[in-house]
Amino acid sequence: MAGISKAFPGVQALQDVNFEMARGEIHALVGENGAGKSTLMKVLTGAHLPDAGQISWRGQPAAIHAPADAQALGIGMIHQELSLIPYLTVGQNIFLGREPRWKLPGFIDWKKLYAQTQDLLDRLNLDVNPRAEAQGLSIAQQQMVEVAKALSLNADLIAMDEPTSSLTDKETEVLFAMMRALKAQGVAIIFISHRLEEVFEISDRVTVLRDGRHIATRPTAELDHNKIVELMVGRELGDIYAYSPTEQRDVVLETADLSDGDELKGVSLQLRGGEILGLAGLIGAGRTALAETLFGIRPAAAGDIKLAGQPVKIRSPKQAIQHGLGFVPEDRKLQGLFLHMAVRENVLLSGMDLVATLGFINSGKANGLVQGFVDKLDIRTPSLQQEVRNLSGGNQQKVVIARWLALQPRVLILDEPTRGVDVGAKAEIHALMRQLAEEGVGILMISSELPEVLGVSDRILVMHEGRITGELTREEATQDKIMRAATGVVHHGI
């Protein structure tokens, strides 16, 4: 792949990226969230068309316009989210849409299908019944079935996006053994992982992407953890973050060994009024799980939550709100907004009691309150009656934030508050967070963007695999230290 570029509205996802694979090679692709790894793989496998650049396959220019083109060339992709159909058998899943035909047209030769499936499974040393339903398989087994599916398409190159993120150590070992076996058969594998230890264990070469650019490709043996992290984060902080510390007050939120029985594995933290606590980590580290558990969206399985020193039980967002919590969720459109409703109602929905008497909305009061926030947050909308879907991303995000400000929370949790927001609105949202902190609100900000975490936070917690693996003051925090904790390097004592 040479000179690949790809832009999405507002983002240059890939910029002039070169990438090459040798036959029978395991090549690790690493980078921060949003560095362009997944986009590069989607270009390779035909899910995205590049804006510029050329893909060559076995020395010949290749035209990959659709996933089917990539398949035909022998390029397979295993996505992070598995795509097996739960009620179909392993064999049916592997040959879906390409079932071997029987003598009569339209009939499937099941015997042949299952025999071929068995051959594929044998090739992977996978002890699974071809006639078993996919839903009964472990995640690891499902992943291997996906690999078998790729092999059934005669794939010579298989791209695996975070294949180990939901596997246990033992399952990972089995997957690695299979990858080595495939390598011996001449199949090349692209391995995307956030876990550097795995990269060192399995890969022959490493390519680092950062901000959509190709940074380096080196043999794994020439690198160490520190060097890779350096390559991943090595950029200067912009000066868009004007920081001024605020007075730290009493602890407003405290958790002890909080877990949800799934992604969150015992988190203890303290948040003070007037503090912006940054929560860093990679996708799947359990940051959102922490926020959702605090806000009553997920039930807490164990541990305690204290608000202003008082132990509380939070079983629903409604209760969380009554206790003075606010939550700006990660996915604005899915979790935050009512796209077909007006700006006014979107701001008011959590605080109807403020503007209603006996349930009847006082229109004048409602308009006054919402207009106040539209002015304060500089929400650009032609009117309060405007449907929220017609606003830009930044203004939509301000609408969600305004909903919580109306309730005057003691603790505000913001999950990726500036994702998909333009630079101007981003700075405004940061300034607003600081202003809230000055008013004594405790702010927990989840962000995958390291410059944001470093630029905005008073203190930084880093999560990895459901636990807090690092706590850094603003002064001592660096991208390097955060990435180490986020990739579990510190945690594993390296």
Closer Cβ to other proteins, 101 or 318, answer by number: 318
Whose Cβ is closer to other proteins: residue 97's or residue 382's?
A: 382
Q: Does 364 bind other proteins (CB under 8 A)?
A: no
CB of 175 to other proteins, least distance (A): 33
Shortest distance, CB of residue 99 to other proteins, whole angstroms? 31
Residue 312 interacts with other proteins (CB under 8 A): yes or no: no
Rg of the chain over Cα atoms, rounded to whole angstroms, equals: 25
Round to whole Å and give the CA distance between 183 and 206.
Answer: 16
- Cα separation, 379 vs 376, whole angstroms: 8
The only residue of 212, 324, 336, 420 in contact with other proteins, by rule CB under 8 A: 336
**In the complex, what is the shortest distance from the CB of residue 411 to other proteins, in angstroms, rounded to a whole number?**
14
CB closer to other proteins, 191 vs 327: 327
228 binds other proteins (CB under 8 A): no
Site for other proteins in 446-475 (CB under 8 A): none
Confirm or reject binding of residue 373 to other proteins (CB under 8 A): no
- Paired tokens of 85: 């159909």
Task: Report how many residues bind other proteins under the rule CB under 8 A.
Answer: 33
User: Is residue 120 a contact residue for other proteins (CB under 8 A)?
Assistant: no
> Within positions 380 to 439, which residues make up the interface with other proteins, using CB under 8 A?
382-383, 386-387, 390, 403
CB closer to other proteins out of 419 and 491: 419
Residue 368's Cβ-count burial label (10 Å; 0-12, 13-18, 19+) is: exposed
Q: Which is closer to other proteins, CB of 68 or CB of 352?
A: 352
Segment interacting with other proteins, rule: CB under 8 A, options 85-93, 97-105, 147-155, 348-356: 348-356
> Would you say 70 and 45 are in contact if contact means Cβ atoms under 8 Å apart?
yes
Binding status of residue 17 toward other proteins by CB under 8 A? no
Part in contact with other proteins (CB under 8 A); list of ranges 14-22, 305-313, 343-351, 430-438 = 343-351
Cβ nearer to other proteins, comparing 21 with 305: 305
Out of 156, 260, 345, 458, the residue judged to bind other proteins by CB under 8 A: 345
Q: For other proteins, give the closer residue by CB, 23 or 389.
A: 389
Closest approach of other proteins to the CB of residue 356, in Å: 5
Judged by CB under 8 A, which of 350, 371, 422, 465 binds other proteins? 350
**339 is a contact residue toward other proteins (CB under 8 A):** yes
348 touching other proteins, by CB under 8 A = yes
Binding of residue 338 to other proteins (CB under 8 A)? yes
Tokens describing residue 89: 């058998």
Stretch that binds other proteins, among 144-152, 252-260, 317-325, 452-460 (CB under 8 A): 317-325
Residue 56 burial (CB count, 10 A): 11
b/e 233-257 (16+ beta carbons within 10 angstroms → b): beeeeeeebeeeebeeeebbbbbee
Q: What is the closest distance, in whole angstroms, from the C-beta atom of residue 131 to other proteins in the complex?
A: 31
Closer to other proteins at the Cβ: 126 or 356?
A: 356
End-to-end CA distance of the chain: 34
Positions touching other proteins (CB under 8 A) are 295, 297, 316-318, 320-321, 327, 329, 334-341, 345, 348-350, 352-353, 356, 359-361, 382-383, 386-387, 390, 403
